[in-house]
Structure 1
Amino acid sequence: MEEGLRESNPVGRGRYTPGRRSGGQQRGLVPRLTKLSWIPGEQQWLSVLEVAKREPVRSRLMLALAYDAALRREELCSLRTDDVDPAHRTLRIRAETTKNRLERVLPYSASTGVLVSDYLAHRARNSRA
């Protein structure tokens, strides 16, 4: 435009022209910065675990499963008892609860397996009452 080769600017003012990397969506010229997630240090983890010891078995199990299998909040809250296989120490995450709509089977640790057994026994006792 300044050199007289074009009469109009081919790039809209304040808009980025979508390409392959942007997923076809328009975005502003100013980049959106995202911070990394907060990761607790060793002392902070010990504090979390100390508090978790005083929680009911259900809460301790949820914390252990979330940590072992890196579950998202929706995946954790949507678990059913038939999604847990104590014999093989695996957890089935159903496709309808995942972010990418793909089902996956995840292992969990032996210590979490103890919590699974405790929780299932606790649940069986309370359902009969």
Structure 2
Amino acid sequence: MGSGPAPPRATAAWATTALLAAALLGCAAGTGRSADAPTPAGTPPERLCADLITHWAGVILDAGDPADAVGLDYQAMGLSGDQYEILRAVLDGARAVRRDEGAPAARAFGAREAERRCAERHRTGTPTDGPWG
């Protein structure tokens, strides 16, 4: 393996990850709240969850299958373990929709399913099983 520049796809994925992580950390910094707590701007945690899942589902669907096509694990994506499980479930359904109805329908399905599953995850408030739950 050489030490040349990273492939463009990997560079773009890492840049996206860095921006998402900086945004999430910046929102939680100085508030005395965890990253799962509402941000000062009032973005509820279920919305942040759905936005992250929708983003990564789109990136992975665009990159091709399987999920490691983008070369990142769940932590590099800025996801918790539970969020990664949601992403995997969303991708399973979105791939079936893409096969039957095409990419736009798969993206729409992914967004709806991410919202539904993240709302369910936060149904009783902020998850309490630690920062990676």
Please tell me whether Structure 1 or Structure 2 has the larger radius of gyration of its CA atoms.
1
Q: Which has the higher helix share?
A: 2
TM-score past 0.5 threshold: no
TM-score class, shorter-chain normalisation, is: under 0.3
Q: Which has the higher strand share?
A: 1
TM-score (norm 1): 0.21
Q: Which has the higher contact order (CA 8 A, sep 6+)?
A: 2
